[in-house]
Amino acid sequence: MATKTSRLTANHWGVGIARVEAGRIVSVDGHPADPDPSPINGNIPGSLNGAARILRPAIRKSWLDKSRDPVPRGRDAFVEVSWDRALDFIAGEINRVRTDHGNESIFAGSYGWSSAGRFHHAQSQLKRFLNTVGGFSYSEGNYSYNAALVMMPYIVGPFRKHVAEATRWSVIAKHSDLVVMFGGMAMRNTQVSDGGVAIHRMSNNLRSCAKAGVEFVNISPLRTDAAAFLNADWKPVHPGTDTALMLGLAYVLMSEGLHDLAFLARYCVGYDQFEAYLTGASDGVPKSAEWAAEHTGWSTQDITDLARKMASNRCMISVAAGVQRADYGEQALWMAVTLAAMLGQIGLPGGGYTVGYGVNANVGNMERLFRWGTLPQGTNPVTNFIPVAMISEMLLNPGGAYTYNGAERRFPDARLVWWAGGNPFHHHQDLLRLHKAIQTPETVIVNDLNWTAMARHADIVLPVAAAQERDDFGAGKSDNALIPMHKLAAPPGEARVEYEMYKDLASRLGTEEQFTEGRTPDAWLRHIWEETRAAGAQHGVSLPDWDTFHVGDVIKLPDPSPNQVFLAEFRADPASNPLPTPSGLIEVFSDTLAGFDLPDCKGHACFFPQRDFKAGEGDLFLLSGQPKTRLHSQLDNGAFSLSHKVRGREPVLIHTNDAARRRISDGDIVELSNSRGRCLAGARITDEVFEGCVFLWTGAWWDPDFSAPQARDRHGNPNALTHDQRTSSLSQSPASHSARVSLHRFDGEPPDITVHQPPVLYSDTDPD
Ligand SMILES: Nc1nc2c(c(=O)[nH]1)N[C@H]1C(S)=C(S)[C@@H](COP(=O)(O)OP(=O)(O)OC[C@H]3O[C@@H](n4cnc5c(=O)[nH]c(N)nc54)[C@H](O)[C@@H]3O)O[C@H]1N2
Ligand SMILES: Nc1nc2c(c(=O)[nH]1)N[C@H]1C(S)=C(S)[C@@H](COP(=O)(O)OP(=O)(O)OC[C@H]3O[C@@H](n4cnc5c(=O)[nH]c(N)nc54)[C@H](O)[C@@H]3O)O[C@H]1N2
Ligand SMILES: [Mo]
């Protein structure tokens, strides 16, 4: 038992059981109890033992030399130094910046997924340490569903709570006739749940729906965004036009009297103001089926038919999280709520709307029973933060003004930037702009496992242990499993556990006792586990002691609400169970949002055409969803990720007709470009992508060739091409799905990929 289970590891994509030979991890397989384990585990051995692993602390050469003519960040060589030297530099920089400019000038939001593990969580460790030395500016929100986080509270209530309360798939199988999926429901994404997932339930739960005869409509540019066994009706829209389609559907409901006026009157406010927009009374443009057809590519008849079908069946409207990651992404969310309100099925089993099915393994499948123990981060005396997707904006406009969530705000003057557990050169848009923006701070520090593009933009690079190189436990944020995690191998080279490194740094700055509270990592794990046990006991769950748990198997707990129906209590009695909105009701019109008086988010859902489309950028829509072969950019140099590349480049899906017009064959290297940048990718020709769209997976490590036009990326990172304007001035969310590009075959000799090899490294003793 112990020999088998002592090789457990928890990853965001599932439990792994490792085979270790001569101190090295040679393979990681799924857990036998998992019906649908993720092959992403296959990336672990190659990446942890790969050439790109950071082995020693390193300092950017121009920074170390204090060069008057520095090589820009991201292009420079590095000098490997001792830990002592690196930590001395960092302690010196923290002291300099906080003395001369105040702690607000230390920016350490560090957005990113890092690794599973309750104790060794990279951001928590960094934040805890920095809080002992006066704090830091930070970031708020995420790249996943930020528009919902900011807007939903005004119109229905807190988004995260609502995702946890999503109607369960078992209820849909029993009660729904029809599921209309804006953005589909990509099975590839349900491999993942942050913090760890023990049982991948989505496939079986969706199969039950198919078996029960539930019909699915897949409104996504990718056919494969609906599992084949659902036999979904694939009816894509032009990207960015879901709101227009929903308006067309709403118009049909209204004009045929199919809307539920009793529901709108009892549970909503502001339908009349919205209707004035729908009919065109307020702006002269009726949002008719004909109008919607022009924008979306659907026929008038199809819009009319679907509206009637939705009204005459128990219908669940689903909006993929990714649909809001687009220009004016708030509007599709608000319009989905509005359309569902008009159908009047919100709060009924199998009816209403959900934003976020498919965004991870658990939505609609499972929820957490109680809160797990956690490493306390302490208190941050600095209060200034930025909306997470304004990173380039902040770096380029220190002290500058901006609008967010109805308030006028000011950027911090970030002099020292520290990133641990995230990769902005993966997650942010318009990477050439970010490359320029990140030249502005005085010092950039990055901790990572591998020489990612972000690590290459640092002045001080710290090599850290991977999740498989330290003891911990995993527990999904929304999955009910507790997973022992084992130190399966020693960190390579001089890589260290981050806690130990912060301890040494805190000792240099006089805060060691505050940081450690006298605990070793093992003592912290026991402490956090005892907190978890106590929380379990309050919920009637008896958990074993740490030593028993850590050598044992995964502990699975039941869903606290397996028959959950979203907003059922509100529907049953809205007076006793009001929504936490200003009116207590669903706000089809919001006085608060109207009062913000923003040009790009009004008092009700509106359609705005995409910016690139209006600006006449390239002739194809670029989509860039999550990759099935990895988590974002993590372990991109692992075997499973590499196995899907085309001649070393990230595959781009191109429709057969779009390829034929450009004389592109499957397996060709192609170049995608627009006014912001360009990249190479490997052509995969298919009828599974909507004609007029190209789909390039996210996560190929950015590999700019600074000798080529627009520093062409050799590898296929879509963020070489996306814009980094935000969804709107309300939520300032990322809008990565709204780029237009040109495409052609690349006939030159394709350059080698360099980013899976380390940068030029000198040793501290090298003369020069
Ligand atoms: N074009 C486009 N861009 C997108 C998206 C899109 O759809 N299209 N999606 C967006 C979304 S939804 C998201 S969530 C973001 C994701 O963006 P990120 O979360 O930034 O991406 P990851 O690749 O997960 O970055 C995690 C980094 O942490 C490192 N790491 C892992 N474990 C540890 C550790 O223990 N310590 C330290 N110090 N580092 C560690 C990994 O090596 C990796 O470099 O991307 C966004 N970007
Ligand atoms: N394997 C794997 N799984 C993951 C992740 C990963 O990196 N790898 N990342 C995780 C994270 S952090 C997140 S946030 C979730 C993301 O989960 P989602 O947000 O649900 O997924 P995406 O792949 O970003 O987008 C879903 C689909 O929306 C479609 N789409 C894009 N624009 C439009 C549009 O304008 N209209 C319509 N109708 N459809 C559109 C695209 O075709 C895309 O396939 O996935 C999680 N799961
Ligand atoms: Mo995400």
For 205-227, what is each residue's pLDDT tens digit? 999 999 999 999 999 999 999 99
Sign of the four-CA dihedral 50, 56, 57, 58? negative
**Same domain, residue pair 129 and 260:** no
**Same domain, residue pair 113 and 259:** no
Q: Which residues are catalytic?
A: 111, 113
Q: Choose one of 53, 449, 477 to mutate for the ligand 1 pocket test, by most ligand atoms within 8 angstroms of C-beta.
A: 449
For residues 654 and 662, give the distance between their C-alpha atoms in angstroms, rounded to a whole number: 11
User: Is 656 contained in some domain?
Assistant: yes
User: Is 596 contained in some domain?
Assistant: no
Q: Can you tell me the mean pLDDT for 727-755?
A: 97
Phi, psi of 336 (to 5 degrees): -65, -40
Q: What is the tens place of the pLDDT at every residue in 653-701? A: 999 999 999 999 999 999 999 999 999 999 999 999 999 999 999 999 9
The closest-lying atom of ligand 1 relative to the alpha carbon of residue 636 is: 23
Phi, psi of 385 (to 5 degrees): -140, 165
Which protein residues are within 6 Å of ligand 1, measured from CB? 112-115, 120, 122, 143-144, 322, 325, 420-423, 426-427, 447-450, 452, 464, 467, 498, 624-625, 631-634, 698, 718-719, 722, 736
**Same domain, residue pair 159 and 95:** no
Among the listed ranges 272-276, 448-452, 555-559, 741-745, which one has the minimum average pLDDT value? 555-559
- The confidence band for 764, taking pLDDT boundaries of 50, 70 and 90, is confident
For residues 596 and 589, give the distance between their C-alpha atoms in angstroms, rounded to a whole number: 13
**Same domain, residue pair 130 and 186:** no
| pLDDT value for 355 | 98
| pLDDT value for 46 | 97
CA 446 to chain centre: 20
User: Is 53 contained in some domain?
Assistant: no
**How remote is the CA of residue 290 from the centroid of ligand 3, in Å?**
35
Q: What is the tens place of the pLDDT at every residue in 458-513? A: 999 999 999 999 999 999 888 899 999 999 999 999 999 999 999 999 999 999 99
Q: What is the tens place of the pLDDT at every residue in 695-739? A: 999 999 999 999 999 999 999 999 999 999 999 999 999 999 999
Given a cut of 90, whether residue 2 has pLDDT beyond it is no
Q: What is the tens place of the pLDDT at every residue in 100-149? A: 999 999 999 899 999 999 999 999 999 999 999 999 999 999 999 999 99
Given a cut of 70, whether residue 6 has pLDDT beyond it is no
Structure tokens at 235: 């009816």
Q: Where residue 427 sits, what CATH number does that domain have?
A: 3.40.50.740
Sign of the four-CA dihedral 429, 435, 441, 447? positive
User: Is 249 contained in some domain?
Assistant: yes
User: Is 159 contained in some domain?
Assistant: yes
- The confidence band for 766, taking pLDDT boundaries of 50, 70 and 90, is low
**How remote is the CA of residue 600 from the centroid of ligand 1, in Å?**
28
The closest-lying atom of ligand 1 relative to the alpha carbon of residue 420 is: 38
**Same domain, residue pair 692 and 723:** yes
Q: Where residue 676 sits, what CATH number does that domain have?
A: 2.40.40.20
User: Is 750 contained in some domain?
Assistant: no
Given a cut of 80, whether residue 1 has pLDDT beyond it is no
Phi, psi of 84 (to 5 degrees): -60, -45
Given a cut of 60, whether residue 740 has pLDDT beyond it is yes
**Same domain, residue pair 352 and 252:** yes
User: Is 532 contained in some domain?
Assistant: no
CA nearest ligand 1 atom 7, residue = 625
Ligand nearest to the CA of 363: 2
Domain hosting 325: range is 146-368+563-587
User: Is 547 contained in some domain?
Assistant: no
Structure tokens at 91: 């302690």
Q: Which of 395, 504, 437, 444 is nearest to 59 (CA)?
A: 444
| pLDDT value for 496 | 98
Among the listed ranges 6-10, 20-24, 88-92, which one has the minimum average pLDDT value? 6-10
Given a cut of 80, whether residue 168 has pLDDT beyond it is yes
For residues 72 and 287, give the distance between their C-alpha atoms in angstroms, rounded to a whole number: 51
**Same domain, residue pair 269 and 383:** no
CA 331 to chain centre: 19
Total number of domains in the chain: 4
For residues 390 and 727, give the distance between their C-alpha atoms in angstroms, rounded to a whole number: 11
**Same domain, residue pair 364 and 388:** no
Q: Can you tell me the mean pLDDT for 349-369?
A: 96
**Same domain, residue pair 35 and 178:** no
Does ligand 2 have an atom closer than 6 angstroms to the CB of 14? no
The closest-lying atom of ligand 2 relative to the alpha carbon of residue 236 is: 38
**Same domain, residue pair 103 and 227:** no
Domain boundary among 553, 587, 621: 587
Instruction: Tell me the average pLDDT of the chain.
Output: 97
For residues 671 and 276, give the distance between their C-alpha atoms in angstroms, rounded to a whole number: 46
Does ligand 2 have an atom closer than 6 angstroms to the CB of 166? no
Model pTM greater than 0.95? yes
- The confidence band for 614, taking pLDDT boundaries of 50, 70 and 90, is confident
Share of the chain above pLDDT 90, in %: 97
Q: Choose one of 388, 426, 626, 721 to mutate for the ligand 1 pocket test, by most ligand atoms within 8 angstroms of C-beta.
A: 426
Given a cut of 90, whether residue 68 has pLDDT beyond it is yes
**Same domain, residue pair 26 and 41:** yes
For residues 312 and 53, give the distance between their C-alpha atoms in angstroms, rounded to a whole number: 57
**Same domain, residue pair 133 and 158:** no
Q: Can you tell me the mean pLDDT for 406-425?
A: 98
